[in-house]
Amino acid sequence: QVQLVESGGGLVQAGGSLRLSCAASGIIFSNYVMGWHRQAPGKQRSMVATITSDGSTNYADSVKGRFTISRDNADNTVTLQMNSLKPEDTAVYYCNADLTTRWTSSRSWGQGTQVTVSS
What 3 state SS string does the chain have?
CCEEEEECCEEEECCCCEEEEEEEECCCHHHCEEEEEEECCCCCCEEEEEECCCCCEEECHHHCCCEEEEEECCCCEEEEEECCCCHHHCEEEEEEEEEECCCCEEEEECCCEEEEEEC
Q: What pLDDT is recorded for position 7?
A: 95
Residue 56 has pLDDT above 90, yes or no: yes
Q: What pLDDT is recorded for position 1?
A: 86
Task: Give 4-41 pLDDT, tens digit per residue.
Answer: 999 999 999 999 999 999 999 998 999 999 999 999 99
